[in-house]
């Protein structure tokens, strides 16, 4: 019989020449299980998705309840669907008052696409500024914002009138002018290798956008839903962006994204032309039901409040000389090593020892650590033991 691994290589599109090839049969909490009794601790949360762990019982219950009612019924924006309406309301309740309207998408990249469209239409301007080394997704609009030529070159031409500034560089803010429709930045740059900007920078960015009438769009697709020790990372900087983009951790493991804006800005998509931004599956009711349960779990289990303490435990357990630097905000962390070979060897070693860690798209010299926020102290200690053993062997 042909194995699933062979069929994966033969029949599904490959995104690299060296896929991980771990076969997963089941997942629960912080663990993934393979078909032959393998057990892995998941220290990357499916890339910042499983903030509340895999298959949280409250999420499963909400999904089952919604399955018993209805699944897809119409394109987004036509019928009143309770899971969407309730989720939008609950999101707006935990956000500042300037956020008044939620558009649900299927993914992060689609939240980016929609945000760019409303920014252009609302301001009447065309220029969009992004940050060097940014990652915002793989669709053509989002790809246009990737601050890394290597990823853009093969797919050119991309969107016109996109320019780039240095992230966390106050002098570069001079490039934002009255011609700029929007500045799109990650609250903390993820794929660049977890680059945490200063509060001073973010406040200066906010001020420059306000002065020039430019919309400030925050990508909180990796940083949202407690990951950094606040429900949303913009809270660290004591500023409020104009548009907030969400995905990954929002859905409790189900596919969902959103962009959130003041009503006046969001309303530009409803006419001239009407139906100018639509999606068939965006805001799928089962995903929205899961997201409601997930947000409730984050709140009821006080997960955000414990992030900083858990991050500090990682930091103290991993305080060894071979790790050049631990960058991070909350449980969005990276361990800076010397080269990709070390990163590759250590992450393979960890996988063989039952621990999933990874690296970052634009920073292959650092290990990615972003566990479910539900990880216990003992699990942190156990995982650090494996990482340290790997580092001792290969660095
Ligand atoms: N923005 C950031 C910061 C991301 O990390 C990602 C995905 O990794 C995206 C946007 C795109 O999200 P998606 O893969 O759901 O399209």
Spatial separation of the C-alpha atoms in residues 260 and 246, rounded to whole Å: 8
Residues 6+ apart with CB under 8 A from 148: 132, 133, 135, 362
Ligand 1 site, residue 135, Cβ cutoff 6 A: yes
For the chain, which residues score pLDDT lower than 50?
A: none
What domains can be seen in the chain, in order of their start residue? 4-55+302-394 (3.90.1150.10), 58-300 (3.40.640.10)
pLDDT digits (tens, 9 = 90+) for 128-172: 999 999 999 999 999 999 988 889 999 999 999 999 999 999 999
Ligand 1 site, residue 222, Cβ cutoff 6 A: yes
Ligand 1 site, residue 107, Cβ cutoff 6 A: yes
Ligand 1 site, residue 229, Cβ cutoff 6 A: no
Nearest atom, ligand 1, residue 255 CA: 15
Q: Residue 181 has what pLDDT?
A: 98
Distance 108 CA to ligand 1 centre (A): 5
Q: Residue 40 has what pLDDT?
A: 98
Residue 41 β-bridge partners: 31, 355
Distance 306 CA to ligand 1 centre (A): 25
* Structure-block tokens of residue 6: 């062979």
Q: Residue 148 has what pLDDT?
A: 84
Distance 130 CA to ligand 1 centre (A): 15
Spatial separation of the C-alpha atoms in residues 235 and 238, rounded to whole Å: 5
Ligand 1 site, residue 190, Cβ cutoff 6 A: yes
Q: Residue 306 has what pLDDT?
A: 97
Distance 334 CA to ligand 1 centre (A): 18
Ligand 1 site, residue 108, Cβ cutoff 6 A: yes
Nearest C-alpha to atom 4 of ligand 1 is from which residue? Answer: 136
Tell me the CA distances in angstroms from 42 to 167, 292, 367, 374, one per residue in order: 30, 23, 13, 11
> What Rg value do the Cα atoms of the chain yield, rounded?
21
Q: Residue 149 has what pLDDT?
A: 87
Nearest C-alpha to atom 7 of ligand 1 is from which residue? Answer: 137
Q: Residue 172 has what pLDDT?
A: 98
Nearest C-alpha to atom 11 of ligand 1 is from which residue? Answer: 137
What is the value of pTM for the model shown? 0.98
Distance 220 CA to ligand 1 centre (A): 9
Nearest atom, ligand 1, residue 47 CA: 8
Ligand 1 site, residue 208, Cβ cutoff 6 A: no
Main-chain phi, psi angles of 162, to 5 degrees: -110, 130
Q: Residue 283 has what pLDDT?
A: 98
- Cβ atoms within 10 Å, residue 153: 9
Q: Residue 147 has what pLDDT?
A: 83
pLDDT digits (tens, 9 = 90+) for 315-372: 999 999 999 999 999 999 999 999 999 999 999 999 999 999 999 999 999 999 999 9
């Amino acid at each position: 019989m042909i194995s699933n691994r062979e069929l994966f290589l033969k029949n599904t599109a490959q995104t690299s020449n060296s896929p991980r090839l771990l076969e997963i049969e089941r997942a629960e909490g912080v663990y993934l299980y393979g078909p032959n009794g393998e057990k892995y601790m998941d220290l990357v949360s499916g890339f910042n998705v499983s903030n509340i762990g895999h298959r949280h019982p409250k999420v499963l219950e909400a999904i089952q309840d919604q399955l018993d009612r209805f699944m897809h019924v119409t394109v987004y924006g036509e019928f009143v669907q309770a899971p969407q309406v309730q989720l939008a309301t609950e999101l707006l309740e935990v956000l500042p008052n300037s956020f008044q309207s939620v558009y649900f998408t299927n993914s992060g990249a689609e939240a980016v696409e929609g945000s760019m469209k409303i920014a252009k239409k609302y301001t009447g301007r065309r220029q969009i500024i992004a940050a060097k080394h940014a990652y915002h997704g793989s669709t053509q609009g989002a790809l246009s914002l990737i601050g890394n030529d290597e990823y853009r070159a093969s797919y050119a031409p991309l969107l016109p009138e996109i320019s780039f500034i240095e992230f966390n560089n106050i002098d570069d803010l001079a490039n934002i002018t009255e011609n700029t429709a929007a500045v799109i930045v990650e609250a903390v740059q993820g794929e660049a290798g977890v680059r945490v900007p200063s509060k001073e920078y973010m406040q200066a960015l906010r001020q420059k956008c306000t002065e020039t009438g430019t919309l400030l769009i925050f990508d909180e697709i990796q940083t949202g839903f407690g990951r950094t020790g606040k429900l949303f990372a913009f809270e660290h900087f004591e500023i409020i962006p104009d548009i907030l983009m969400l995905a990954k951790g929002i859905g409790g493991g189900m596919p969902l994204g959103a962009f959130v804006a003041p009503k006046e800005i969001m309303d530009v998509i409803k006419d001239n032309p009407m139906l100018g931004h639509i999606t068939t599956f965006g805001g799928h009711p089962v995903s929205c039901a899961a997201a409601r349960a997930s947000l409730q779990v984050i709140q009821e289990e006080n997960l955000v409040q414990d992030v900083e303490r858990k991050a500090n435990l990682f930091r103290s357990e991993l305080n060894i000389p071979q790790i050049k630097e631990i960058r991070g905000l909350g449980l969005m962390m990276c361990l800076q090593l010397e080269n990709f070979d070390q990163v590759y060897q250590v992450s393979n070693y960890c996988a063989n020892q039952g621990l999933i860690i990874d690296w970052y798209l634009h920073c292959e010299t650092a290990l990615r650590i972003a566990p479910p926020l539900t990880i216990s102290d003992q699990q942190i200690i156990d995982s650090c033991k494996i990482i340290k053993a790997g580092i001792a062997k290969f660095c």
